[in-house]
Structure 1
Amino acid sequence: MTKPERPLPLDPAQPAAFHWHDATTPLTRAGSGDLLALRDAIRAGEEFSVTPDGISPVVGGTAGYLRIRSGGTTGPAKTIRRTHCSWIASFEVNRDHLGLGLTDVYGILGRPVHSLALYAIVEAAHVGADIVDLAGLRPAHQAAGLADRGTTVLYATPTQLRLLARVGRELPTLRHVLCGGGRMGQDLRHEVQRLAPNATVTEFYGAAETSFIAWSDGAGPEGSVGPAYPGVEIRIDPPGADLGTIWVKSPYLFEGYAEGESPDTQWHEGFVTVGEAGHLAEDGSLSIAGRKNRMVTIADQNVFPEDIELFFLSHQGVTHAAVLPRRDQNRGTVLVALIDALPENMTVDDLLRASRQRFVPLVAPRRIFVAEDFPVTTSGKPDLARATHLIEARE
């Protein structure tokens, strides 16, 4: 893989551009060792790595760089290397577009090993906001912390928001909710807007390798993740196709993998793709179909399991869902689903019938399995490999 040839908006040798509000006030939970270690690593200016074991310097590293782990949803986790500047550039965009600053309070729901939490922590520090560390707490305690501390900005995954919605506590001080790491869907957007009536709810699309690609306040076409994020250029290959590979070019891209690799990640003339397919409308709105390596063909129809997963997740009580292909002697390939719970007042047969009404019967999952111990990655996303093994064992 060839590194992109592109100018950086800021000098990567100047990690001091990360400004912490204060050495003591951002840390609101006792024992926030990860946050202290992160602050010290940034101030030291050396290349550092964020892993499940903590934050540590990279021996022989280069100042102004950091390493983070990918989610590992569809395969082994990879170590992503990027410049501080690739994030600082987006901090400045968000500060200007969202009006972020010294009076804000960021709620952090995950540990820094989760790339979304890490991004939120460092953005808060950069704009001078306070940080409320709620990682590791149960959703009810997280909701209480967000409300009691007067949190104004929240970065969260759809799963985290579903769990907060299930608690049902109103969060009137929130003025920005930014959802990334998976599809939000209109049902969840409405739930979040109900809980945070004074907030602008922004769904953004991106990846650990690309950072922001597109974002939406929900005003665009249904199913769209909005227009390109400021500074991002999006291309679809083949050009003009109803469905094609998404390529992006921006100041926010990663430099490469320090560990591991992905055949789906490719560079070309400064553009990068992580192997996702979508459609770019004439008005610039981007719609995401899903990962190309997850697409299956059933009855001569291309199917993206992500669409069916979002259908299951739209039901109250379902927090995790994975739809996976299985070999079938008669049909070649069929889909099966694994969910963490059944919706209230519904049986497995009820949910199967509902999915067949929503999708073509041949496309809808043939079977649904329920697993309270639903397998997830360290970032809280479905672990598809372990989900496959669990389905095999159930079958």
Structure 2
Amino acid sequence: MVKDSDIFQLAPSARILTPDAAGAACLQHCLREQASFRSSPLSDTPLQEKTGNPQRVFCESSGSSGTPKLIRRSPASWRESFDINGKLFGISSRDTYAVLGHLGHSLSLFAAVEALHLGCGLAILSGQTPARQALALRQYGATVLYATPSQLRLVISADPSPFAMTKNVICGGGTLDSALRKELANCFPAAKMVEFFGASETSFISLSDDQTPPGSVGRPYPGVELRIGNGCAVGETGEIWVKSPYLFEGYEEGSSALTNWDGGFLSVGEMGQMDSDGYLYLRGRRSRMVTVADQNVFPEAIETVLLAQEGVEAAVVLALADPRRGHRIVAVVQGSAGEAELRRACRAALGDAAVPREIRRLAQMPLLPAGKPDLQRLQAMWMERSI
């Protein structure tokens, strides 16, 4: 006999306010019929029903730096956090969710299923310009907004006037730098600003808010146990291992050498450290770590420094092969910040090995459907000198 916790629920009060949005009809059908469904961020059809029992959700990874993989998870692994979020963020059936990305992106799909499980309204605003998304947020009275930093930056750039009705902005898929946080505080004056760190394989790992120290991604999400390396001391960098009820079952298609199990703990190759107060600090993905003059350098750490500088709207760091130094660090920046100031900031925060040797500018950073920078495209553009 199938237990309620083994399937997704469609609450009687749930309502999709944008029934013509891509994937909306399929999602509603699959939840009502307790059918499995598959999402894809690289397809014009972001959601499709998938045959087979018991019910499962299959999420295709965004493929930001490698071949996409198909992630399989049980309904319970998401449902465990729906009620937690409802209590943490004070959500009731009177609320209206909005997602800016399409349902092929696991962040948007998670938020959409959560909204319908909690009996809320749901506005799927993918495929619209940032200006039209801003207008729709007001028209639908969105009180809960799930988005990536890039999506948020585009919306408030298109319409910087306050969104007074929004009470929760829940951000994942990237880092909210200090400048963007200030802008969002002005544009969403009544909203609780929540940033979470996680992955498609792990779901939530940590949560941060306005009390979180600069540079940290917060403390473990409720129900999450973290371990750094194989018993690393406080402040020591190591691989981040996660144990929680929210972990995926495995890969339905594809694989990753970075994804490993150790008992009930899972690692997806992220490196970090924890302080004595339990706050988690990321260094970067093990796969992106490079050596520069025999020093380990994490491009993500450099990106965080660049994004914290005034006049930087987006930044991506690339590591190019260098026969003498191992790698040469370069950066692509969107914004008006001066190169000398950016280099000084990187040197002061991370040392000489982390200073970009060359900085090129783009008017608009190429993004994947998930709202993350397209690293492969940027690497190709750099080599082609089309930046």
Q: Percent of aligned pairs with the same residue?
A: 41
The residue type equivalent to 1:304 in the other structure is F
Runs of 5+ consecutive residues of structure 2 not aligned to the other structure = none
* Deviation (angstroms), 1:65: 0.6
Match of residue 173 from structure 1: 165
Of 289, 300, 319, the residue aligned with 1:306 is: 300
What CA distance in whole angstroms lies between the structure 2 residues aligned with 1:187 and 1:320?
A: 11
Task: Determine if contact 1:235/1:246 at 8 Å carries over to the other structure.
Answer: yes
Of 266, 276, 282, the residue aligned with 1:272 is: 266
What CA distance in whole angstroms lies between the structure 2 residues aligned with 1:222 and 1:40?
A: 43
* Deviation (angstroms), 1:358: 5.3
Task: Determine if contact 1:9/1:85 at 8 Å carries over to the other structure.
Answer: no
Task: Determine if contact 2:102/2:369 at 8 Å carries over to the other structure.
Answer: no
The residue type equivalent to 1:50 in the other structure is S
Match of residue 41 from structure 1: 30
Task: Determine if contact 1:337/1:369 at 8 Å carries over to the other structure.
Answer: yes
* Deviation (angstroms), 1:274: 0.3
Task: Between 105-114 and 381-390, report the one with greater CA deviation.
Answer: 381-390
Task: Determine if contact 1:110/1:134 at 8 Å carries over to the other structure.
Answer: yes
Determine if the alignment matches structure 1 residue 187 to structure 2 residue 176: no
Match of residue 206 from structure 1: 198
Of 362, 369, 383, the residue aligned with 1:378 is: 369
Q: How does 1:92-103 map to 2 (within 5 A)?
A: 92-103=83-94
The alignment partner of 1:297 has SS state of: strand
What CA distance in whole angstroms lies between the structure 1 residues aligned with 2:134 and 2:242?
A: 36
CA RMSD, Structure 1 to Structure 2 (Å)? 2.3
What CA distance in whole angstroms lies between the structure 2 residues aligned with 1:390 and 1:101?
A: 46
Match of residue 263 from structure 1: 257
Determine if the alignment matches structure 1 residue 218 to structure 2 residue 225: no
Match of residue 32 from structure 1: 21
Determine if the alignment matches structure 1 residue 146 to structure 2 residue 146: no
Task: Determine if contact 1:49/1:58 at 8 Å carries over to the other structure.
Answer: yes
The alignment partner of 2:156 has SS state of: helix
* Deviation (angstroms), 1:9: 9.9
The alignment partner of 2:214 has SS state of: coil
Task: Between 164-173 and 211-220, report the one with greater CA deviation.
Answer: 164-173
Match of residue 105 from structure 2: 114
Match of residue 385 from structure 2: 394
What CA distance in whole angstroms lies between the structure 2 residues aligned with 1:40 and 1:190?
A: 40
Structure 1 length normalisation: TM-score? 0.89
* Deviation (angstroms), 1:357: 5.6
**Distance 1:46-1:63 versus aligned 2 partners, 3 A rule:** farther
Match of residue 5 from structure 1: none
Task: Between 234-243 and 100-109, report the one with greater CA deviation.
Answer: 234-243
Match of residue 292 from structure 1: 286
What CA distance in whole angstroms lies between the structure 2 residues aligned with 1:370 and 1:97?
A: 40
Q: May I ask how many residue pairs the two structures share in their alignment?
A: 379
* Deviation (angstroms), 1:390: 1.5
The residue type equivalent to 2:190 in the other structure is N
The alignment partner of 1:184 has SS state of: coil
- Cα deviation code 1:99-119 (max 9, x no counterpart): 211111111111100111111
What CA distance in whole angstroms lies between the structure 1 residues aligned with 2:49 and 2:18?
A: 25
**Distance 1:205-1:9 versus aligned 2 partners, 3 A rule:** farther
Task: Determine if contact 2:291/2:326 at 8 Å carries over to the other structure.
Answer: no
Task: Determine if contact 1:159/1:380 at 8 Å carries over to the other structure.
Answer: yes
Runs of 5+ consecutive residues of structure 1 not aligned to the other structure = 1-7
- Cα deviation code 1:244-278 (max 9, x no counterpart): 11111111111011111110000111110000011
* Deviation (angstroms), 1:354: 5.5
* Deviation (angstroms), 1:169: 2.1
Determine if the alignment matches structure 1 residue 237 to structure 2 residue 229: yes
Match of residue 322 from structure 1: 316
What CA distance in whole angstroms lies between the structure 1 residues aligned with 2:46 and 2:280?
A: 36
What CA distance in whole angstroms lies between the structure 1 residues aligned with 2:256 and 2:17?
A: 36
Match of residue 74 from structure 1: 65
What CA distance in whole angstroms lies between the structure 2 residues aligned with 1:216 and 1:9?
A: 33
**Distance 1:122-1:145 versus aligned 2 partners, 3 A rule:** same
**Distance 1:33-1:302 versus aligned 2 partners, 3 A rule:** closer
Task: Between 202-211 and 329-338, report the one with greater CA deviation.
Answer: 329-338
